[in-house]
Amino acid sequence: MHFFNPSYSGHAFFEAQSTYEDAQAVIYGMPMDWTTSFRPGSRFGPTRIREVSINLEDYSPYADRELGEVAYFDAGDIPLPFGNARRSSKRLKTMCVKL
């Protein structure tokens, strides 16, 4: 039983309501900083995108569709080993194949 909608808490992308099995699309985050040379912090990007996604317009005039018309699942962030580009790349490939 859910007492709240996870997308309103900022822990899931807005309107991500379907299960993995029922989803037409899957969203996942890749929090990593190992390609940053001057100002780190890009690893916080996926979380911040989820937090502000509630402010997105859910209708696209270009596609003439609402976001809720597509069943998608927020799979969360792929856990990446901080500072290890080779292991991170291998893990990304493995997770993408699974998804």
Q: Where are the beta strands (DSSP E) in the chain?
A: 25-29, 59-60, 65-66, 72-77
pLDDT grade for 45, boundaries at 50, 70 and 90: confident
Q: The tokens of 51 are what?
A: 């937090």
The whole-angstrom separation of Cα 98 and Cα 92 is: 10
Q: Give the pLDDT confidence of 13-25 residue by residue, as tens digits.
A: 877 877 888 888 8
Residue 2's pLDDT is what? 44
In the chain, what's the furthest Cα-to-Cα distance?
45
Confidence band (pLDDT; 50, 70, 90) for 5? low
Domain spans, the chain: 6-98
Per-residue pLDDT tens for 46-99? 888 888 888 888 898 998 999 888 888 888 888 888 778 888 889 888 888 887
Contacts of 7 by beta carbon, 8 Å cutoff, 6+ apart:
13, 14, 15, 16, 17, 53, 54, 74
